[in-house]
Structure 1
Amino acid sequence: MSASSPTADQFESAVQQSLQAHFNDLSAISQEIWSHPETGYQEHHAVQQLTDYMEKIGYQVTRKFCDIETSFLGEYQTPGFDAAKHPTVAVLCEYDALPDIGHGCGHNLIAIVGLGAFLAAAEVLKAAGSAAQGRIVCMGAPAEELGGGKVLLLESGAFKGVDYALMSHPAPVDVLEPSILSIDHCQAEFYGKAAHASCGPWEGVNALDAVIAAYNNVSMLRQQLKPGHQIHMIIKNGGAKPNIIPEYTKAEIYIRAPTSADVDELRTRVAACMHAGAEATGCRVECGLNDLSYSGLMSNQKLLSIYKHFGEKNGMRFMILPPGAYGSTDMGNVSTTIPSIHPGFCIGDPHCTMIHTREFRDSVGKPVANHFAMKSAAALALTALELFSNPDFRKDVQTEFDQRRPVFMGKAATEGTDMTDSVDGTLQLPSGFNPDRRRSSRQFLIDMGLLKPSLLEQKRDSIQE
């Protein structure tokens, strides 16, 4: 083995043998999840398939992990594991489906890639002795599509003690570093004064005019934005009846940009658009932000280099996506908390070119897709094993993360206000946003009806009432 070769090269054959041994069972689990699509926080069948299999072959599993009904944690650690000396690596599973079209994002494949990588790495660790030591966990992350499961897991302390996080996502082609944007979910509420629109409109203060002025301000701002900087806005409430001057209107706004620092700046400019609309019409505006916002993906290049090495050895061919092929995911929040990767893997259907479609759903349900998924599972398992077997590599990964994060996060990192760093989820808001109009991820999901309150929360609410 050359000095430049990854130390995990010695485990490649064992990883492939492990995945081959589990292949039929993993394929059956993929098909079960694909055949029973469940939306965010309702993925009970998927979780049962994954956890039952881990328990069946002897791994410790925690169900309802972090008091989240459809999360779980499977784990294995080497004898003599010492958290001060040995790393903990999390491989993440997703398994929620899209409304109406089912697994149009292929999370059935993410589930078996995560599970397969966990099993292969754990089985190698059992036989590796002093050559590789540490703790590997398979973390079930629900509700990526609509409910920010990883944001909630972070808020709940799921990643405390975890040093690195790995996952991959199905795609039309192999992609090493997809363009994942930060996204903020904001709202602006405008308050005016009602009046009869015919008898005395001069007595009113028109909140509809305010929100339309704010919308037009945003439209003018859009043409001055950098590539990858995006604002999406709708008017959620535009008034009650045409003959009543609207006293209340509401807008919902999504703000996207490549990094959290970019979103920081753009959020302030959007707030200015809202306040200008209110000031021009004599209304009052309240701008709010919920914690269910996703960071951009800060892919760790050192980790990706190992994934690429083993992926290419196994036939993966990484492509560069054309400009404008953007997306957002809650894995971004994990990547700014601990060193992480989130590459894309080809599903083996050259005729399918777009995710979140019925065509993609049908393709990820075909048997051939499971074979392509195992290429990614092998590369993830070997990336984990490089971390377990190479202390110098771990230092390089952490150094890259520590150096890049302050620039990527902007004020959130330098002022310590990133919500993933805070014990209580406190998030400092820029000028123009009211801190009283911020909800935690858990409370936001409860208010939306996507998440049930815990028994403790139910008891607390009953006491308050």
Structure 2
Amino acid sequence: MSDDIKKQLGAVIDSYKEDLCQMSDEIFDLAEISGEEYKTSDILCSYLEKEGFAVERGTGLETAFRATWDNGSDGPVIGILVEYDALEKIGHACGHHLQGPAGIGAAIAVKNCLQDYPCRLVVYGTPAEETLGGKIIMLDKGYMKELDLAFMSHGSPNTSVDEKCMALENFVVTFHGVKSHAAISPEEGRSALDAALLSFHAIEMLREHVKDDTRMHYTIRNAGGPPNVVPDLTVAEYTLRSYSTKYLDEVVERFYNILKGAALMTGTTYEIQRDLPFKSKVVCHKVNDLLMANAAYENAPSIAPPRERTGSTDFGNVLYEVPGSCIRIAFTDKDAQPHSEAYLKAGKSDAAHNAIVYAAKIMADSICDVLVNPELLAQIKQEFEVAREKG
């Protein structure tokens, strides 16, 4: 039965391909950066409204939205999450312009072909992934927590899923010292720059005593002035990462002690600005397997094993709350990695347009499998709870 429905889903998506690709190209050309995706959000919302979805705009962020199709009250709540922010000064070199059209294509197909299966289908527009971590803000305001299952898509050099993503903590630290003349009265000064440099050195010492997957980065945003003046202000930025959220919490505590020690040794003080923390995802292999099975069913290009090592994403925070996964669809050369010029140049290619269709079909097929076989969702939830408990 599900194969017959999947053929119907695919036919619907194919019939919308021209609209979806045109939408993607328009979003690509707008290239609106994080938090400024007003026109892009309106394009997506207006299309969903035209297709019969109830759209709530401004869900936690001005450019976020929640589009719902209710098909009875007894079924699961299935989410499709889409991003649409571009990179500043580069444009859509991360492929986010493909996600909205792909998610809309999947949602329309499910709405048209699965009316015999009760569910609530929710398309969430999640802006500002590249900077603020828009999904984290939306979660904090109660959105997405109602989902029983969450899907996403993303462009990639290969068609695959992720095993892990890195938890991330970012800090901007302002050190305050005492300004003085570096030649005439250096003894009266207390160098804010020295405090920052000592913290950097301590992080280098810490590298030997953390787990292998820990990443620690730092830079100076404001050194404090010319060399003949003891600087009374220095601004430094630090990024800490690990594939385990729980372990990263331990590293953060050690980082706090580094700051205390650097300030104590230099007679300075400091202020910490802590950005929203990105969590590592709770991996649900049954969802990964479901997406990859449907990728094979749809003959998606360049199918590859799951990615063992990835960067950081606010989708990880969602996957600490609900089970789900992101299907990555091949549309670039193997050497065209996200955030590169080569990746950008592929953004309006035939392969990119085909990736929209593949992503839409794979997500729609996976939703079909879950709705037709309720026991599958029960198994997914069971695996998720066990994995989340382990952290």
Which whole-Å CA distance do the structure 1 matches of 2:318 and 2:245 have between them? Answer: 13
Structure 2 residue aligned with 1:331, among 315, 323, 330?
315
CA–CA separation in structure 2 for the residues paired with 1:268 and 1:217 = 14
- The one-character-per-residue Cα deviations of 1:219-278 (angstroms, maximum 9, x if unpaired) are 222344433310111122322343332223222111111021121121122222222222
Distance 2:221 2:88 in 1: 21
Rate the CA distance shift 1:309–1:261 in 2: closer, same or farther, 3 A: same
Aligned pair partner of 1:51 in 33, 40, 45: 45
Q: Give SS of 2:322's match.
A: coil
Matches within 5 A, 1:417-428: none
Report the residue type matching 2:389 in the other structure.
P
Aligned counterpart in structure 2 of residue 170 of structure 1, from 143, 150, 155: 155
Report deviation, 1:311: 0.8
Give 2:299's aligned residue.
315
SS at match of 2:387: helix
What SS class does the counterpart of residue 264 from structure 2 fall into?
helix
Which position in structure 2 is the counterpart of 1:306? 290
Matched, 1:295 2:279: yes
Which of 113, 118, 123 is the aligned partner of 2:112? 123
1:341 to 325, 343, 350: 325
C-alpha separation in 2, matches of 1:249 and 1:309: 53
Distance (whole Å) between structure 1 residues aligned to residue 26 and residue 297 of structure 2: 30
Q: Within the alignment, does 1:365 sit opposite 2:358 as a pair? A: no
Q: Counterpart in 2 of 1:140?
A: 125
Unaligned runs of 5+ residues in structure 2 are none
Aligned 1:200-349 pairs, distance under 5 A: 200-290=185-275, 292-316=276-300, 317-320=302-305, 326-347=310-331, 349=332
The number of equivalent residue pairs is 390
Return the match for 1:19 from 13, 16, 21. 13
Contact 2:158–2:334 (8 Å) recurs in 1: no
Give the structure 2 partner of residue 381 of structure 1: 364
Distance 1:179 1:113 in 2: 23
Counterpart CA distance in 1 for 2:307 and 2:108 is: 35
SS at structure 2 position matched to 1:374:
helix
TM-score by length of 2: 0.93
Higher RCO structure, 1 or 2 (CA under 8 Å, sep 6+): 2
Aligned in 2, Cα 1:351/1:235: closer, same or farther, shift over 3 Å?
closer
- Mark the CA change 1:342 to 1:107 in structure 2 (over 3 Å): closer, same or farther: same
1:384-431 per-position Cα deviation (integer Å, ceiling 9, x unaligned): 2223232221221111111111322xxxxxxxxxxxxxxxxxxxxxxx
Kindly report the root-mean-square deviation, in angstroms, between the aligned alpha carbons of the 2 structures. 2.0
Residue 331 of structure 1, CA deviation: 0.7
Paired letter, 2:75: H
User: Do 1:387 and 1:394's aligned partners in 2 also have CA atoms closer than 8 Å?
Assistant: yes
> 1:116 is matched by which residue type in structure 2?
G
Q: Is the 8 A contact 1:299 1:342 kept in 2?
A: no
C-alpha distance in structure 1 between counterparts of 2:124 and 2:140, whole Å: 15
Residue of structure 2 in register with 1:31 after alignment: 25
Structure 2 partner of 1:61: 55
Work out whether residues 36 and 63 of structure 2, in 8 Å CA contact, stay in contact via their aligned partners in 1: yes
Which string of whole-angstrom CA distances, capped at 9 and with x for unpartnered residues, describes residues 282-308 of structure 1? Answer: 333444423x22112223211112111
